[in-house]
Structure 1
Amino acid sequence: MTTKRKVEVFSAGCPSCQTAIELVNRLACGSCEVSILDMNDINVAKRARDLGVRSVPAVAINGQLASCCSGSGIEEQALRWPRQA
């Protein structure tokens, strides 16, 4: 018996997310169980935070954030305007 691979796609419904969903569905193997999760759902957002999702789209496989999705995301310091002396 083949073990199922749990693939979770975290999406906000944007065009970039749709492209990621299409890619995951195209690459999914016969033993993959793909779930598309809406980040507008508070429980999904909590799950994403627990996995370390910092931006969407993001993909987790068997409960681990995929390496392509583990970037640092938005950093507060990078968004601050330079302070003038």
Structure 2
Amino acid sequence: MKTKRKVEVFSAGCPVCEETIAMVSRLACSSCEITVLSMNDSKVAARAKSLGVRSVPAVAINGQLADCCAGRGPDEKTLRAAGLGQEL
């Protein structure tokens, strides 16, 4: 029996997440085992956090957050540089 590539899609159930799920499904091959995980489940959210997920949708392949999904999400330094918290 061949080993499958484990593909996890972390989703909040929004339209953008649904688009990502559709794209991953379209790109997948017979060696891919896709699992869609709801961030509304606290165990899923904990797993996502351990992988470094900071925003959804996010995709992990074989337990590694895909490069396209890493480093995203709110960042205090960037928000402050854009003016957040500064009086006009």
Normalised to the residue count of structure 1, the TM-score between the two structures is 0.90
Distance 1:24 1:83 in 2: 40
In 2, the alpha carbon distance for the partners of 1:35 and 1:12 equals 14
Count the aligned residue pairs: 84
* Displacement after TM superposition at 1:3 (Å): 1.8
Structure 1 counterpart of 2:29 = 29
Task: Name 1:78's counterpart in structure 2.
Answer: 78
**1:82 Cα shift?**
4.6
Unaligned runs of 5+ in 2: none
**RMSD across aligned positions (CA):** 1.4
My pick for the range that moved more, 31-40 or 71-80, is 71-80
Whole-Å separation in 2 of the counterparts to 1:20 and 1:60: 12
Aligned identity (percent) is 65
Deviations 1:35-73 (A, max 9, x none): 000000000000000000000000000000001101231
Extract unaligned runs of 5+ from structure 1: none
Describe the SS at the equivalent of 1:26: helix
SS in 2 for 1:13: coil
**TM-score normalised by the chain length of structure 2:** 0.87
Q: Which residue of 2 aligns with 1:10?
A: 10
Which position in structure 2 is the counterpart of 1:51? 51
The residue type equivalent to 2:39 in the other structure is: M
Q: Which runs of 4+ in 1 moved over 2 A?
A: 76-84
Q: What is the DSSP-based 3-state SS (H/G/I as helix, E as strand, rest coil) of the residue aligned with 2:20?
A: helix
Question: Aligned partners of 2:85 and 2:31: how far apart in 1?
Answer: 50
